[in-house]
């Protein structure tokens, strides 16, 4: 009863309890200054500095708890949101956990096109997305007629089977002709003797919210913090000096997220410019600035932000 009362007074925030998103979610919570102590084997942790309760759940379950339960915020994969078909708000892409939902077939097998799999057996943990894809494919042929069975009497129907783990082993163990699964580097699939023939969905981690959240003011603060942490990881601050007559040229190189900050210098005819630049592009941007006449180009990491 005490736990129920504690949860009633707190914003509920669901995060993955394990898997590919877990550690990066913990780093994101730390950056947002959401402090908590999680006891062993407990999937609910009360924050020590904010009225928030963290609920650790399988990533696949989070859309349901956010969309249909009392959980206001959650972090999961876009693939899980699409698979659940539950109505939630996708607040912001978090920029980690990128991978692809792909059709994989035996490397040395006969299949090279998804259409060859119509009427075959597919194993996946994403049955909803696989059903959508193959039902649409079944209705498509070059002549606008559905593929039919060997007797030419009825349309072929692809068999979609659910397996919760080790999906990549399904073909080798004889229960599938192909699999549909998430692929990051592809190393696991190659080790299982599989190759990709189609990408159904590209996905990454996303912050989702309930359509009817509680503690709206606190939720807005947490969303703002998380957006700030994401921006701090994505951008650096680029400062430089340039002649005023070249200002238009250099600003076109560093337009910033919204606009750069331009300040006059005591040296007449010169200005100082400060702008946020994507971290992955900064080396190329510095080269372009130097070529355009900028001097004293300095780059600073951003530890946190509000954007």
The string of pLDDT tens digits covering residues 139-187 is 876 444 555 554 555 567 899 999 988 899 999 999 999 999 999 888 8
Mean pLDDT, rounded, for 210-220 = 94
C-alpha span between 38 and 27 (Å, rounded): 15
Clarify whether residues 198 and 121 are in a common domain. yes
The answer to whether 38 and 54 are in contact (CB under 8 A) is: yes
What letter does residue 218 receive in the DSSP assignment?
A: H
Over residues 78-97, the pLDDT tens digits come to: 999 999 999 999 999 999 99
**Domain range holding 161?**
100-203
Say if residue 23's pLDDT is above 70.
yes
* Domain annotation covers residue 227: no
C-alpha span between 48 and 233 (Å, rounded): 25
Distances (CA, A) of 144 to 41, 70, 134: 55, 46, 16
Hunting for tokens 């995060």 — which residue is that? 15
Residue 267 pLDDT class (50, 70, 90 cuts): confident
Q: Which of 149, 184, 214 is the last residue of a domain?
A: 214
Mean pLDDT, rounded, for 27-55 = 92
Q: Is residue 221 left, alpha or beta, with left meaning phi > 0 and alpha meaning psi from -120 to 50?
A: alpha
What per-residue confidence (pLDDT) applies to 5?
Answer: 63
| Domains identified in the chain, total number | 3
- Residue 253 structure tokens: 């190189």
Clarify whether residues 57 and 127 are in a common domain. no
When mean pLDDT is compared across 15-29, 150-164, 190-204, 230-244, the lowest value belongs to 150-164
Clarify whether residues 14 and 81 are in a common domain. yes
* Domain annotation covers residue 89: yes
Cross-strand partners of 13: 54, 73
Clarify whether residues 12 and 83 are in a common domain. yes
* Domain annotation covers residue 307: no
**What's the predicted TM-score (pTM) here?**
0.84
Q: Name which residue leads in pLDDT, 14 or 147.
A: 14
């Amino acid at each position: 009863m005490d736990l129920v009362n504690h949860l009633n007074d707190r914003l509920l925030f669901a995060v993955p309890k394990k898997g590919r998103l877990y550690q990066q979610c913990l780093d994101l919570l730390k950056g947002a200054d959401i402090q908590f102590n999680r006891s062993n084997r407990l999937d609910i942790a009360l924050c020590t500095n904010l009225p928030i309760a963290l609920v650790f759940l399988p990533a696949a379950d989070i859309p349901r708890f956010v969309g249909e339960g009392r959980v206001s915020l959650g972090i999961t994969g876009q693939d899980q949101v699409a698979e659940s078909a539950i109505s939630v708000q996708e607040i912001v892409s978090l920029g980690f956990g990128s991978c692809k939902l792909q059709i994989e077939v035996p490397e040395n097998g006969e299949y090279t096109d998804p259409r060859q799999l119509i009427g075959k057996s597919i194993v996946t943990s994403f049955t909803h997305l696989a059903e959508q894809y193959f039902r649409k494919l079944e209705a498509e042929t070059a002549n606008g007629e559905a593929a039919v069975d060997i007797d030419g009497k009825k349309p072929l129907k692809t068999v979609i089977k659910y397996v919760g783990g080790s999906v990549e082993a399904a073909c080798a163990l004889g229960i599938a002709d192909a699999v549909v699964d998430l692929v990051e580097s592809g190393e696991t699939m190659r080790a299982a003797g599989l190759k990709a023939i189609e990408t159904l969905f590209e996905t990454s981690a996303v912050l989702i919210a309930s359509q009817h959240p509680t503690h709206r003011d606190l939720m807005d603060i947490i969303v703002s913090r998380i957006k700030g942490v994401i921006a701090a990881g994505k951008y650096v601050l680029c400062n430089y000096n340039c002649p005023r007559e070249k200002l238009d040229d250099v600003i076109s190189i560093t337009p910033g997220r919204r606009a750069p900050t331009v300040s006059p210098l005591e040296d007449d005819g010169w200005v100082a410019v400060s702008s946020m630049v994507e971290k992955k592009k900064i080396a190329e941007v510095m080269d372009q600035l130097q070529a355009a006449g900028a001097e004293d180009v300095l780059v600073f990491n951003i530890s946190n932000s509000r954007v």
